[in-house]
Structure 1
Amino acid sequence: MADNHNFPPQAYQQHDDEIDLKELFLALWKGKWIIIFVTAIFAVGGVLYALSQPNTYKAEAVLASANDGQSGGLAAMASQFGGLASLAGISLGGGGTDSKAMALATLQSRQFLNAFIHKYDLLAPLMAVEKWDKSQNKLIYNTDIYNVEKKEWATNDQGESFQPSDWKAYNAFKGALSISESKDNGLINLSITHLSPTIAKQWVDWLVIDINAWVKKESLDEAKRNITYLEEQIERTSISDMQSVFYQLIEEQTKNLMLAQVQEEFAFKIIDPAVVPEEKAGPKRALICILAVLLGGMLGMGIVLIRYAFAKKD
Structure 2
Amino acid sequence: MSENLSKQQTSADEITLRELFALIWRGKWIILVVTFCFAVGSIFHSLSLPNIYAAEATLAPTEESQGGGGVGDMGGQLGGLASLAGIRVGQGRVTPAALALEILKSRAFIADFVNRRDIKVDLFAVSDWNELTGELTYNESVFDLATETWVRGVEHPRQPEPSDWEVVRAFRDVFSVQPDDQTGLVTLKVQHRSPIVAKQWVGWLVEDLNNKMRQRDIDEAKRSLEYISREMSNVQLQSTQQIYSNLMERQTQTIMLANIRPEYIYTVVDPAIVPEQRESPKRTLIVVIGTLLGGFLSLLLVLITYLFRHVD
The alpha-carbon deviation at position 265 of structure 1 amounts to: 0.5
Letter paired with 1:46 = S
Residue of structure 2 equivalent to 1:283: 281
TM-score normalised to the size of structure 1? 0.81
Secondary structure of residue in 2 paired with 1:131: strand
Residue of structure 1 equivalent to 2:73: 80
Root-mean-square deviation (CA), in Å? Answer: 3.2
Q: Does 1:67 align with 2:60?
A: no
Q: In structure 2, which of residues 63, 87, 90 is the aligned counterpart of residue 91 of structure 1?
A: 87
Secondary structure of residue in 2 paired with 1:228: helix
Q: Which moved more, 1:78-87 or 1:111-120?
A: 78-87
Q: Check 1:182–1:77 CA distance in 2 against 1; reply closer, same or farther (3 A cut).
A: closer
The alpha-carbon deviation at position 85 of structure 1 amounts to: 4.5
- Quick one: distance in 2 between partners of 1:157 and 1:60? 33
Residue of structure 1 equivalent to 2:5: none
Note if contact 1:234-1:243 (Cα within 8 Å) is conserved in structure 2. Answer: yes
Note if contact 2:65-2:96 (Cα within 8 Å) is conserved in structure 1. Answer: no
Residue of structure 1 equivalent to 2:8: none
Residue of structure 2 equivalent to 1:295: 293
- Quick one: distance in 1 between partners of 2:228 and 2:305? 83
Residue of structure 1 equivalent to 2:99: 102
Q: In structure 1, which of residues 185, 190, 198 is the aligned counterpart of residue 196 of structure 2?
A: 198
Q: Does 1:130 align with 2:123?
A: no
Deviations 1:205-234 (A, max 9, x none): 111111110111111122122223333443
- Quick one: distance in 1 between partners of 2:247 and 2:218? 15
Residue of structure 1 equivalent to 2:37: 41
The alpha-carbon deviation at position 59 of structure 1 amounts to: 2.0
The alpha-carbon deviation at position 46 of structure 1 amounts to: 0.8
The alpha-carbon deviation at position 45 of structure 1 amounts to: 1.2
Residue of structure 1 equivalent to 2:142: 145
Residue of structure 1 equivalent to 2:261: 263
Q: Does 1:169 align with 2:176?
A: no
The alpha-carbon deviation at position 123 of structure 1 amounts to: 0.9
Residue of structure 2 equivalent to 1:228: 226
Note if contact 1:82-1:91 (Cα within 8 Å) is conserved in structure 2. Answer: no
Identity of aligned residues (%): 37
The alpha-carbon deviation at position 305 of structure 1 amounts to: 3.9
The alpha-carbon deviation at position 107 of structure 1 amounts to: 1.4
- Quick one: distance in 2 between partners of 1:305 and 1:272? 56
Residue of structure 2 equivalent to 1:249: 247
Note if contact 1:58-1:277 (Cα within 8 Å) is conserved in structure 2. Answer: yes
Q: Check 1:250–1:308 CA distance in 2 against 1; reply closer, same or farther (3 A cut).
A: farther
TM-score normalised to the size of structure 2? 0.81
Q: In structure 1, which of residues 23, 38, 56 is the aligned counterpart of residue 52 of structure 2?
A: 56
> Unmatched 5+ residue regions in structure 1?
1-19
Q: Check 1:165–1:41 CA distance in 2 against 1; reply closer, same or farther (3 A cut).
A: farther
Matched residues, number: 294
Letter paired with 1:44 = V
Letter paired with 2:68 = A
Q: Check 1:167–1:26 CA distance in 2 against 1; reply closer, same or farther (3 A cut).
A: farther
- Quick one: distance in 1 between partners of 2:26 and 2:224? 82
- Quick one: distance in 2 between partners of 1:308 and 1:207? 61
Q: Check 1:234–1:156 CA distance in 2 against 1; reply closer, same or farther (3 A cut).
A: same
Letter paired with 2:76 = G
Residue of structure 2 equivalent to 1:189: 187
